[in-house]
Structure 1
């Protein structure tokens, strides 16, 4: 089963969001002109011009929601989860349906009154059938233009200011440490080993939990592999090649593997931090 708390690429850039809105907005009128779902091609003038207006029913909601999703992305410390993407798609689709209904009601049909039943009938008849066509393309474009961001190197590390408490599935499993003392975490089946810095060196505590649950509790935790989280303030170098890459950290001899999906963001982060990156 796919975890809804898995981090995925996020389309933060306004330009990319605008292009996605434009592409989807242009697709809908083309489908309407081709499929003619209203079955009234002979009954109203300027058919193509009027049907083109549905493009704005797509573009406007996408642009209106983008500041809100950017705000959520920011408060989640520049991380975006599958759950966020699902909620975003559902919410924005609902707005698109509402905009489309009122455009259909006032401009296309010119009906005198409407009811909530008419809105629901419109969504069932003219909204839901387009989901298998539009949503996969929408998700593909967001993934294509999306990025996974990682934080810049913290020159003031270690800064022992804020504490965090990690809690496992068993409530008795708790650990309170300084946020900056978290080093890395490794998932093994139903357990996660959390490694952290102490006055006596690196120590480890095991939690019965998932990696995604641990990550949500640690602002300094950044996923670099399906089984690993790491505090990038401890990162020293990335080594290996295109087939197999791994990182080294400053407080341990352990090496941490890097998945290809996260390598691009790490490469950018290392370049901006003037660290050496071996291809």
Structure 2
């Protein structure tokens, strides 16, 4: 998978808080009822309350990270990539793991933290739990996230697109681009020129490589990039949607994860 592939982003605080509550309750239930990592051998007053306190080690990082990622998201044109998501999940887990270690030292066992102790904690507690926690967290972020369209005004300019074959290049202005369709290792690019001509060019490339050269385009399906200016109608719903474009005979399928964002974009920018 391409690291710069655009994916859904959990933009709202409401959804982030909901995800945070699910994960914190998930941690508490595992520690109190399943008692992994020899938790059953720990005997102290208010044991269950102290175990439930590990949920704070989830709540604090997730809310803090969301504040930071929202700032980054707005500064970079409301685009969220697979690389961004991987960085958040990785950094977030290590942040959570560090707080859990400190909580274990100060609250559970009343000992001073050490680098050796942190290393031991990571090997025997953090890493074994990472796969379960990160997978569940990633699923929740995907489930409650959505792809939002950029609100930036796009300036018209001459664009050069290069294919994989030698001397394979086409040039056009942004407002002439209608859509692109991926077929195996080839891309069909549809244009509507200022002279009122419909043109179609085929290049040897992939949709992800085209998107790198044409970042202002909007992806609505794994095989389609479009210019939303040419949309005349959005049909269907999130389960099965399609966009009707001017100057193109076919209906462009719109994947469920893109439909809501595209509908919102058309409402505010008809």
Give the drift of 1:214: 1.6
CA distance in 2, matches of 1:145, 1:79: 16
Equivalent residue, structure 2, for 1:256: 252
Equivalent residue, structure 1, for 2:9: 10
Match 1:218 to one of 205, 214, 217: 214
Give the drift of 1:90: 1.2
Equivalent residue, structure 1, for 2:24: 25
Quickly say closer, same or farther: Cα 1:97–1:163, change in 2 above 3 A: farther
Equivalent residue, structure 2, for 1:191: 186
Quickly say closer, same or farther: Cα 1:122–1:42, change in 2 above 3 A: closer
Give the drift of 1:174: 4.5
1:234 aligned onto 2:230? yes
Question: Is the 1:160–1:178 contact (alpha carbons within 8 Å) kept by the matching residues of 2?
Answer: no
CA distance in 2, matches of 1:148, 1:242: 13
Quickly say closer, same or farther: Cα 1:60–1:171, change in 2 above 3 A: farther
Question: Is the 1:62–1:92 contact (alpha carbons within 8 Å) kept by the matching residues of 2?
Answer: yes
1:57-206 mapped onto 2 (5 Å cutoff): 57-115=57-115, 117-150=116-149, 161-169=156-164, 172-200=167-195, 201-206=197-202
Question: Is the 2:78–2:148 contact (alpha carbons within 8 Å) kept by the matching residues of 1?
Answer: yes
Q: Deviations over 1:9-64 (max 9, x none)?
A: 22100121112112212221221222152547444333222222211111111111
Matched length: 268
Equivalent residue, structure 2, for 1:277: none
Quickly say closer, same or farther: Cα 1:5–1:31, change in 2 above 3 A: same
**Could you tell which deviates more after superposition, 29-38 or 94-103?**
29-38
CA distance in 1, matches of 2:257, 2:144: 14
Give the drift of 1:165: 4.2
Give the drift of 1:226: 1.9
CA distance in 2, matches of 1:32, 1:132: 16
CA distance in 2, matches of 1:186, 1:59: 43
CA distance in 1, matches of 2:99, 2:58: 8
* Structure 2: gaps (5+ residues): none
CA distance in 2, matches of 1:208, 1:148: 28
Q: TM (normalized to structure 1)? A: 0.80
Question: Is the 2:177–2:191 contact (alpha carbons within 8 Å) kept by the matching residues of 1?
Answer: yes
Q: Deviations over 1:184-240 (max 9, x none)?
A: 111111122223343343434433322122223323311122211101011111346
RMSD across aligned C-alpha pairs, in angstroms?
Answer: 3.1
Quickly say closer, same or farther: Cα 1:240–1:48, change in 2 above 3 A: closer
Quickly say closer, same or farther: Cα 1:111–1:146, change in 2 above 3 A: same
Question: Is the 1:152–1:272 contact (alpha carbons within 8 Å) kept by the matching residues of 2?
Answer: no
* Structure 1: gaps (5+ residues): 275-279
